[in-house]
Amino acid sequence: MSNANAVSRVFILGMDGAGSFIQHTATPVIDAFLAKGAVTYDAQAQSPTISAECWGSVLHGVVPEKHGLTNEVAASEPYPAESPYPSVFRLARKAWPEAKLASFTSWSPINDGIVEDGIGIHKESLPDADLV
């Protein structure tokens, strides 16, 4: 990749249960982000559509049988830092040690049990109204 095509920021926006909402609702700020980036409306959720199983698959890139996450596990145990299935955050940290990484969520098990601890990620788990 040439420097002319280098990406300086990555922003991942995930909305649990949004379905076709984004396509059929006026969302000017989200639309502005999507117009300048990559988006898909054809991605398939992990089945069954249970939060930890789905978010674990999105962030770790493997099926639940491999990452082992359930809602109960994610709410009560930190994700193993040396798992063979690293999150996108751990991969980013390895590739770019000085990168600023952050995870903002209204569902705390993402930060508590799906994204690894100890790899220099700023984590905020707050109600929706406090995040926007």
Please state, for a pLDDT cut of 90, what percent of the chain lies above it: 61
Q: How confident is the model at residue 131 (pLDDT cuts 50, 70, 90)?
A: confident
Q: How confident is the model at residue 1 (pLDDT cuts 50, 70, 90)?
A: very low
Q: How confident is the model at residue 58 (pLDDT cuts 50, 70, 90)?
A: very high
Chain centre to alpha carbon of residue 25 = 23
The reported pLDDT for the residue numbered 22 is: 78
Kindly tell me if the per-residue pLDDT of 111 is higher than 80: yes
CA distances to 1, 19, 62, 114 from 78, rounded to whole Å, are: 35, 29, 18, 7
The reported pLDDT for the residue numbered 85 is: 98
Instruction: Delimit the domains of the chain by residue range.
Output: 3-131
Kindly give, in sequence order, each residue whose CB lies less than 8 Å from that of residue 90, ignoring residues fewer than 6 positions away.
Answer: 81, 116, 119
Residue among 70, 84, 82 at smallest CA distance from 113: 70
Q: What is the mean pLDDT of residues 52-77?
A: 95
* pTM listed for this prediction: 0.85
